[in-house]
């Protein structure tokens, strides 16, 4: 339990600048102290979300220097709406809930909230089509992805026999072939580094966008409540962005190391739709069920799941690892198990 204002302020670092009373209670702190520190002018509260004032940020810096800490204060973005603040706080809450629901005893937990990645600026109709219930992925046929396949032709394990693309080459290629982009915004990217000491000798990849090498990757997207058919379109658009992201990783950023790590162990690449209510997560699974094996499209292997905050709150038993946690509570939409793709059509909790 933090004992003074300085201890409380140190929670507001650059990776976690936004907190709520609910989040503070989740980490075992007295949420009432936040209001007390607001009264001292070190924190500001808006829409239930707390963040540092300029005075609080300066006090944070002094405290970090006095304790020889490398931490930097989390400075709030300017002109944020209450909805934006709430989304930032929800990202922090998701981080805390996931983190406190599993141990990862023999590995590292790494989080990025949010994670943004530039994709080719394709229109929705160029990403996928849906005709008479049949899902067809169109992005791989578009000129930018055809050019990518020509200029970066080797992927998979065979790519390890060739030098990885340099940052200069990738940047130049994107400037020439991606004049228009769309940004994939992931609310929470969780990277699991299991048995990380065994991988310490591997050098980094020159174009790794977020230290993804030798990790299992879980990309969490906040999903809106369902309003058919718009929710179906949104779900498929996000899945299309995820597929394009994996395609670019396999050809340009991490060729040879997306589906297998440096020790030839299979890596996980999961898309997770995150809802506030479990009922919406279930509807998501029902919406996606008719598409079956076509969900993975040309970007297989990958996993697709739906999860809710309610599921995480209700799960009071700490799982050993993230691979134990999500299958125990989430709805599987499309799974890769022991090199076999599995479309799960029976909508029930867990795997």
Predicted TM-score of the model (pTM): 0.92
Which class for 249: exposed (0-12), middle (13-18), buried (19 or more C-beta within 10 A)? buried
For residue range 50-84, what is the model confidence (pLDDT) as tens digits?
999 999 999 999 999 999 999 999 998 888 899 99
Question: How far, in Å, CA of 334 to CA of 339, rounded?
Answer: 13
Greater confidence (270 vs 106) lies with 270
> What is the residue-wise DSSP string for 224-287?
PPP-TTHHHHHHHHHHHHHHHHHHHIIIIISTT-SSB-TTSPBPPEEEEEEESSHHHHHHHHHH
What pLDDT, on a 0 to 100 scale, did the predictor assign at position 30? 84
Domain positions in the chain are 5-81, 114-343
What topology does CATH give the domain 5-81?
Arc Repressor Mutant, subunit A (1.10.10)
User: What is the pLDDT, as a whole number, of residue 350?
Assistant: 52
Q: How many CA atoms lie within 13 A of 126 on its CB side?
A: 13
Average pLDDT over the chain, rounded to an integer = 92
Q: What is the pLDDT of residues 82-122, one digit of tens each?
A: 999 999 999 999 999 999 999 998 889 999 999 999 999 99
């Amino acid at each position: 339990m933090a004992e003074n204002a300085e201890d409380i302020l140190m929670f507001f670092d650059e990776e976690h600048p936004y907190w709520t009373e609910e989040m503070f209670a989740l980490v075992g702190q007295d949420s009432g102290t936040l209001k007390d520190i607001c009264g001292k002018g070190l924190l500001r509260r808006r829409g239930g979300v707390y963040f540092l004032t300029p005075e609080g940020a300066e006090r944070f810096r002094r405290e970090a220097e006095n304790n020889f800490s490398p931490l930097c204060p989390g400075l709030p973005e300017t002109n944020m709406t209450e909805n934006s603040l709430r989304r930032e706080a929800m990202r922090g809450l998701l981080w805390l809930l996931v983190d406190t629901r599993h141990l990862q005893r023999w590995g590292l937990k790494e989080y990025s909230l949010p994670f943004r990645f530039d994709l080719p600026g394709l229109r929705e109709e160029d990403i996928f089509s849906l005709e008479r219930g049949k899902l067809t992925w169109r992005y791989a046929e578009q000129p930018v992805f055809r050019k990518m396949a020509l200029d970066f032709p080797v992927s998979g394990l065979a790519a390890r026999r060739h030098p990885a693309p340099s940052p200069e080459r990738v940047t130049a290629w994107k400037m020439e072939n991606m004049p228009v982009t769309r940004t994939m915004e992931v609310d929470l990217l969780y990277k699991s580094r299991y048995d990380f000491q065994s991988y310490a000798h591997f050098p980094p990849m020159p174009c790794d966008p977020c230290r993804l090498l030798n990790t299992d990757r879980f990309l969490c997207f906040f999903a809106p409540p369902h309003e058919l058919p718009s929710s179906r379109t949104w779900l498929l658009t996000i899945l299309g962005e995820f597929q394009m992201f994996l395609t670019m990783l396999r050809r340009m950023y991490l060729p040879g190391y997306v589906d297998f790590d440096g020790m030839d162990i299979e890596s996980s690449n999961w898309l997770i739709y995150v809802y506030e209510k479990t009922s919406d997560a279930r509807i998501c699974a029902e919406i996606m069920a008719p598409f079956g094996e076509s969900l993975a499209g040309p970007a297989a292997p990958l996993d697709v799941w739906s999860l809710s905050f309610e599921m995480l709150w209700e799960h009071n038993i700490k799982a050993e690892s993230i691979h134990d946690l999500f299958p125990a509570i989430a709805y599987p939409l499309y799974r890769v198990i022991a090199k076999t793709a599995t479309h799960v059509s029976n909508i029930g909790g867990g795997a």
